[in-house]
Amino acid sequence: MDSGLSVSTVQRIRGVLGQAIDQGIRWGCVNRNVARLSRSPKQQRREGRTLTYEQARALLKELEGHRHEALYSLMLSTGLRRGEALGLKWQDFDEAARVVSVRRQLKREGGSLVTADTKTARSRRSVNLPRGLMNLLVEHRRRQGEERIVMDELWTDTGFIFTTNFGTPVDPRNLNRDFAIICQHAGLDHWHPHELRHSAASLMLASGVKLQVVSEVLGHASIRMTADVYGHILAPDREAAADAMDRALWNGA
C-alpha cells in the first residue's frame, strides 16, 4: 500500500524503529526485532542529464572572464558538489601538488550560511586538478587579492576561495540563478549546478577513467553507488572486454 512517503523517509523510519526495538530486546521487553523481518524499499536511481563534450566546451567558452569561471570549471572538471566547492578555503588548495582537499561543505541552515562536515567519511578527500583549471584558480586568487585592496574595510576575510564582492561566502541559491543565466547565454537551455557533477562523472568514464577512480574523485560512499548511477556509460568497456576474450580464446573468430 502506497503511504505517499518517499523511499528515503520510509528507510529512515524503519531504521529508527529497528533501533528502538533492539533497545527493547536489551531491556528484556521483547524477544525479537520484528522490524528486521520487513524489507526496506529500494531507492530507484534516476539517470541524470550530462553535458556532451561539445556542450561542456561551449559552457567553458561562455564562462571566460566571468567572476565564477574558476568555480564552475572546478565543478565540471572534478565533480565536486556545489556545497563542497563553495566550502573550499585557500588553505585547502595546494598549488605545488595541484590538489584541493575537500574537508567541509557550505550550506544554508536556519536562514544562515554555515559550514558543516561532508556528507560521508569518503567525501573527505583530496582531488587532483587539471592543469587548465590550475591556471584559472591562480588567476582567480590574483583577482580576489585586487578586490580585497579595492574594498578595503568593507572586505570580510573569511578565507573562502569563492566569495562575494565583499569576501563573504556565496549563497548556493544565488549560484543556481547565476548558472541558469550563463547556460542560456551559452545556448544550452536550463541546467542546474548539480548537473555539472553528473557531467564530470560521465565525461570521465567516457574518456576511459576507471570506475573506482571516478568513485574516489566523486567521494561516493561506495563504488556500488557509482556503478548504479553511471553503469550505463560503461557499455563500450564491457564490449571491449568481450572482444579481448574473443581474440584471446578464439583468435577473433
Write down the pLDDT at residue 237. 76
Write down the pLDDT at residue 183. 97
Point out the least confidently predicted range of 1-10, 99-108, 212-221, 232-241: 1-10
Q: Is the pLDDT of residue 6 over 80?
A: no
Angstrom distance (rounded) from CA 206 to CA 236: 9
Cα-based distances in Å from 145 to 15, 99, 141, 162, 185: 49, 21, 6, 12, 28
Point out the least confidently predicted range of 1-10, 46-55, 195-204, 208-217: 1-10
Closest CA to 50 of 229, 208, 253: 229
CATH number of the 53-232 domain = 1.10.443.10
H-helix segments, the chain: 7-27, 53-63, 69-78, 82-86, 131-151, 172-185, 194-206, 211-218, 223-230, 235-250
Provide the whole-model pTM: 0.79
Contacts of 119 (CB under 8 A, 6+ apart): 81, 105, 219
Q: Is the pLDDT of residue 138 over 90?
A: yes
Angstrom distance (rounded) from CA 230 to CA 238: 13
What are the residue ranges spanned by the domains of the chain?
7-37, 53-232
Classify residue 28 as left (phi > 0), alpha (psi -120 to 50) or beta. left
- pLDDT range class, residue 22, cuts 50, 70, 90: confident
Question: How long, in residues, is the chain?
Answer: 253
Q: Is the pLDDT of residue 38 over 70?
A: yes
Q: Return phi, psi of residue 129, to 5°.
A: -110, 140
